[in-house]
Chain A
Amino acid sequence: GESVGLHLPTLSVQEGDNSIINCAYSNSASDYFIWYKQESGKGPQFIIDIRSNMDKRQGQRVTVLLNKTVKHLSLQIAATQPGDSAVYFCAELAGGYQKVTFGTGTKLQVIP
């Protein structure tokens, strides 16, 4: 039969506002987490990473928060710009990059 397409949750944000994208991960043994950005027609692009011995890491305009208690990861983008429009997804790794699991992704739409 015909497969059902993956429905990506969409977050619409006004330009200049802050965006928060969430990800629930599944493996309590995961020790490394990465956020990727994927624009239409392009491969995923690394944004920021965090190891399990940290709960917060900041980059340029982006912050990743890790809550191991509830297995939750979030990506905060400050002063969202139209160029931030893309699909964002998290990846969890346990024991090396060869054992990576990706989240389904969230589509971010920035309204000018």
Chain B
Amino acid sequence: KAGVTQTPRYLIKTRGQQVTLSCSPISGHRSVSWYQQTPGQGLQFLFEYFSETQRNKGNFPGRFSGRQFSNSRSEMNVSTLELGDSALYLCASSAGGTMNTEAFFGQGTRLTVV
């Protein structure tokens, strides 16, 4: 069974540009969550999607957005990139539903903003 796949693995963007990251969850998983990991702030929750709907959102500015498709694949978009957006962006998938269930993480996309 394939794990969570994130693409691309590495990305370098210029300040002011926008970026789209992709996450393919484990087959059958309907929940996809996104996280930002930095040395300064640790691992922080961005948002979670379930069945194409955003169920919850962390404390990030509106420049960070996402969506989920009918096949559960998810994309995350960051507009007007800032230097501080440089981070490892992780997504995790789980079966979802209303109960807490184990989530599986991808290897992440390392974004560097210059």
Q: Taking beta carbons and an 8 Å cutoff, which residues of A are in contact with B? A: 3-6, 31-32, 34, 36, 41-46, 49, 51, 89, 93, 96-105
How many A-B residue pairs have C-beta atoms within 8 angstroms? Tell me: 70
Instruction: Report the minimum CB–CB distance from B51 to chain A (whole Å).
Output: 13
For B84, the chain A residues whose CB sits under 8 A away are 3
- A97-B33, A98-B56, A104-B42 known; A46+B102 contact, CB < 8 A: yes
Instruction: Report the minimum CB–CB distance from A53 to chain B (whole Å).
Output: 12
Q: Taking beta carbons and an 8 Å cutoff, which residues of B are in contact with A? A: 4, 31, 33, 35, 38-45, 48, 50, 55-56, 84, 90, 92, 94, 96, 98-108
Please measure, in the bound complex, the distance between the C-alpha atom of A89 and the C-alpha atom of B90, giving whole angstroms.
15
For A101, the chain B residues whose CB sits under 8 A away are 45
Contact B102 A44 (CB under 8 A): no
Contact B94 A97 (CB under 8 A): yes
Contact B100 A32 (CB under 8 A): yes
- A4-B40, A98-B55, A102-B42 known; A46+B107 contact, CB < 8 A: no
Instruction: Report the minimum CB–CB distance from A16 to chain B (whole Å).
Output: 29
Contact A6 B101 (CB under 8 A): no
Closest 8 CB pairs of A and B: A98-B56, A43-B105, A32-B100, A98-B48, A102-B43, A5-B39, A3-B40, A44-B105
Please measure, in the bound complex, the distance between the C-alpha atom of A104 and the C-alpha atom of B40, giving whole angstroms.
10
Across the interface, A96 reaches (CB within 8 A) one of B35, B92, B98, B107, namely B98
Please measure, in the bound complex, the distance between the C-alpha atom of A6 and the C-alpha atom of B38, giving whole angstroms.
8
